[in-house]
Copies of this chain bind each other. A is one copy, B any other.
Amino acid sequence: MSVTTPQGFRAAGVEAGLKTSGGKDVALVVNDGPTFDSATVFTANRCKANPVLWSQEVVKDGTVRAVVLNSGGANCYTGPEGFQTTHAVAEQVAGHLGFGAVDVVVCSTGLIGLTNDRDQLLAGVDAAYAGLSPQGGQDAAEAIMTTDSVSKQVVVEGAGWSIGGMAKGAGMLAPQLATMLVVLTTDAVVPAADLDTALRAATRVSFDRLDSDGCMSTNDTVTVMASGASGITPSLDDFTQALTQACTDLAMQLLKDAEGADHEIAITTLNAATEDEAVEVSRSVARSNLFKAAIFGNDPNWGRVLASIGTTSAQFDPADLDVAMNGVWVCKQSTPHADPATVDLQGREVSVTIDLKTGSERATVWTNDLTHAYVHENSAYSS
């Protein structure tokens, strides 16, 4: 049930003293081959952390042999010294394992503008290397947690091959990657170009449609490594489908652990002219603080849904919109329909369905409600 479930991978998670709260904070995932194909997607934020600036160069040749991750500091906006720390970490990993630093992806998470103690971090790398094990996935998943309350892992089984994954992230979850670090492993034989195609397809409909609080991180990284250790080459379709399932599962775990949330909200737009317009409409609702606060209050306030739809450029007739909440069509033809009092919002899972009556495309965007606990977690502590 982890990144070490597929054959050909070892991992470790150790405590290096980076997190002021204590606990494991350095993780290492190593691909022992025989293949070293990989693909990676990064945050679309133009203000990128040092590990992202480093790793963008590393992944260009399609070969990644290890991913090293730390919590306890994002190493973002820490200047040249911060970049040198990232470089030193990659060199340390590569030195231990006998390959080049250019095959090591580095990920960091924590407060922006905070420089990690380089010696502490390098000592953590040494300890992680010493602890590498084919059973180390769970430890690695725990070492990347920040405000996460639980570790997030997944395994998807193919025919003789599998995909494993771990993720961290519990806020700042927004499009073009939520604030999160994700490592995926597979023992299938998949060339780097196909991995890239599959990863982009999978993230487009999973992590990219998670919009917890509209905030985009500076550090997001999703890496998939293929060891080929199973000797099996699945079809690209089969592999993409399994990878999408793994990414969606992890995305739902991130959604459920979002900081301070009381509800998981799936906003589905039906019958849009294009899939992009369906995403735009769903996302506009996911971004409405007024709508999100209403859901926290168990208030089926469909007016706030319509007000959000009206801010988009999607094609629709403003006088002919239908909206359902938890299956109850509270608005039809842009006028009140079923009694909102019949909508039960007590459970954690909430669905909003919007019918644009324009085309035949659809999309779902997931978000959380806006709660006192969200405000508390993001005002009482720096992160």
Contacts and interface: CB of A to CB of B under 8 A. Distances in A.
Interface string A256-300: 000000000000000000000000000000011110011111010
Nearest to A299: B382
A205 interface: no
Given A334-B77, A336-B113, A310 B216 contact: yes
A171 interface: yes
Interface string A42-78: 0011111000000000000000000000000010111
A5 interface: no
A214 B382 contact: no
Number of copies: 2
Contacts of A376: 372
A334 B79 contact: yes
Given A112-B303, A299-B379, A304-B112, A293 B333 contact: no
A370 interface: yes
Contacts of A111: 303
B375 A113 contact: no
A28 to B, nearest CB: 26
- Interface centre among A77, A217, A288, A382, by most B CB within 10 Å? A77
B47 A318 contact: yes
Nearest to A378: B293
A366 interface: no
A30 interface: no
A314 to B, nearest CB: 9
B113 A303 contact: yes
A163 B47 CA distance: 45
B289 A218 contact: no
Contact of A47 (B217, B295, B306, B381): B306
Contact of A335 (B48, B79, B295): B79
A296 B372 CA distance: 12
Contact of A216 (B76, B78, B217, B307): B307
Given A112-B303, A112-B306, A310-B218, A77 B336 contact: yes
A251 interface: no
A235 B290 CA distance: 42
A303 B74 contact: yes
A331 interface: yes
A46 B311 contact: yes
B45 A293 contact: no
A1 interface: no
B172 A290 contact: yes
Contacts of A287: 214
Contacts of A378: 289-290, 293-294, 297, 370
Interface of A: 44-48, 74, 76-79, 111-113, 115, 171-172, 213-218, 287-290, 293-297, 299, 301-304, 306-312, 318, 321, 331, 333-336, 370-372, 374-376, 378-382
Given A214-B287, A215-B290, 5 more contacts: A46-B310, A112-B306, A215-B308, A299-B379, A372-B375
